[in-house]
Amino acid sequence: MTQEVRGVVAPGRNERVRIETVVIPDPGPGEAVVRVQACGVCHTDLHYKQGGISDAFPFLLGHEAAGVVEEVGPGVEEVAPGDFVVLNWRAVCGRCRACRRGRPWYCFDTHNATQKMTLADGTPLSPALGIGAFAEKTLVAAGQCTKVDAAAPPQVAGLLGCGVMAGIGAALNTGNVSRGDSVAVIGCGGVGDAAIAGARLAGAGRIIAVDIDARKLETAVRVGATHTVNSGESDPVEAVRELTGGFGADVVIEAVGRPETYRQAFYARDLAGTVVLVGVPTPEMTLELPLLDVFGRGGALKSSWYGDCLPSRDFPMLIDLYLQGRLDLESFVTETIELDDIEKAFQRMHDGDVLRSVVLL
Ligand code: APR
Ligand code: ZN
Ligand code: ZN
């Protein structure tokens, strides 16, 4: 028995999104149907709508979600009906070389649900990042579901599905920020602010927030920055060095994704420090650096993919820290909205007015 629900569909390149009837098949082997409770609005959803990620229209948008498992298909052991879960982009195989080395984010054999959700006329939908959660229900691979403590509000739990996990993980997993470290974060949107929250969680000493938008520096302080630098007004490399005894930060996290900020990150770190690249560049961007600086400054340049997270380890842990009052996730939810408000939320995100708008269902 299929089910029909409402969902937000991007019909074609740069066309306005539409609320459509989405047909959800019964879960097959290894699949689960999840009743979505909350789903955050992310830049990636906008990129899908603009055709910047793929041409496989129509897309069912939405991918930063939490909800309750409603039904599971044959052979599913990971989760059971009634479980409160956070969704992740792809189920991993657990068997390939990357998985066995404890780096499942580079898994060679990831998968999503095998069956397709469709429009009422049978047109198959492409779910954004294999999730498609701007809908009352969605079909995913059971391995995309991670059970977390149901005491957490869905709009908070869903944040871990994408940007906030990417930022916290950039600090904790990729950057290995240690107690007392000086940390600079360049770009204080949702991802950069989450990196700041992660650095604070790790017990960092100075946490320097760098952004060109003064409003962003205010929210950065709210989530844990101890110092701010407006890089539209002063040279951020000089400023970070001044704030770190002339040396540079132990860990610099780049959360913009542009050549000039990659360069700033490279030079704002201490000798033998770590640069974590979490901002995603576009294919045509390049960066030229003197090789003597690359060699002579030592340390590490590391990119961070989905915060190098292990959902089964990190999602429940971060929810526990939130419930204990040790991780402020509420500051990331600027507003809660309805399914019909997605276009407005895209506009506010584009204008830099929000960290996250979250759809409540
Ligand atoms: N220098 C400093 N900050 C900048 C600059 C710059 N040259 N240009 C933009 N910014 C700031 C913006 O003012 C904003 O606060 O970077 C921040 C980017 O935040 P968002 O647009 O909200 O993006 P976010 O969701 O945080 O993602 C940032 O991380 O995972 C990636 O794909 C994601 O590349 C993106 C990046
Ligand atoms: Zn996202
Ligand atoms: Zn694998």
Give residue 1's pLDDT: 83
CA 126 distance to own-chain centroid = 19
Instruction: Return the ligand number nearest the Cα of 94.
Output: 3
* Domain 167-305: top CATH class: alpha beta
What sign does the dihedral 95-96-101-107 (CA atoms) show?
A: negative
Which tokens sit at 225? 């920055």
Mutation pick for ligand 1 pocket among 41, 42, 43 (CB with most ligand atoms within 8 Å): 43
At 356 the pLDDT is 94
Query: Is-same-fold flag (3-161+328-360; 167-305)?
Result: no
pLDDT of the residue at 102: 86
Q: Where are the domains of the chain?
A: 3-161+328-360, 167-305
Q: At the fourth CATH level, which superfamily is domain 3-161+328-360?
A: Medium-chain alcohol dehydrogenases, catalytic domain (3.90.180.10)
Question: What is the reported pLDDT for 177?
Answer: 98
DSSP sequence for 76-106: --S--TT-EEEE-S-B--SSSHHHHTT-GGG
Pocket of ligand 1 (CB under 6 A): 43, 163, 166, 186-192, 210-213, 216, 231, 255-258, 260-261, 278-280, 352
- Quote the ligand 3 centre to 105 CA distance (angstroms): 8
Nearest CA to ligand 1 atom 16: 187
Identify the three-state secondary structure at position 263.
Answer: helix
Distance CA 278, CA 304 (A): 5
Q: How far apart are CA 68 and CA 26, in angstroms?
A: 16
Q: Whose CA is nearest to atom 21 of ligand 1?
A: 189
CA 77 / ligand 1 centre spacing (Å): 38
Q: In this predicted structure, what is the pLDDT of residue 151?
A: 98
189 closest CA partner among 356, 8, 4, 19: 356
Asked whether this complex has an ipTM greater than 0.90, the answer is yes
* Rounded mean pLDDT for each run of 10 residues along the chain, 361 residues in total: 96 97 98 98 96 96 98 96 97 94 91 97 97 98 98 97 97 98 97 98 98 96 97 98 98 98 98 96 95 94 94 96 96 96 96 94 96
Question: For atom 22 of ligand 1, which residue has the closest CA?
Answer: 189
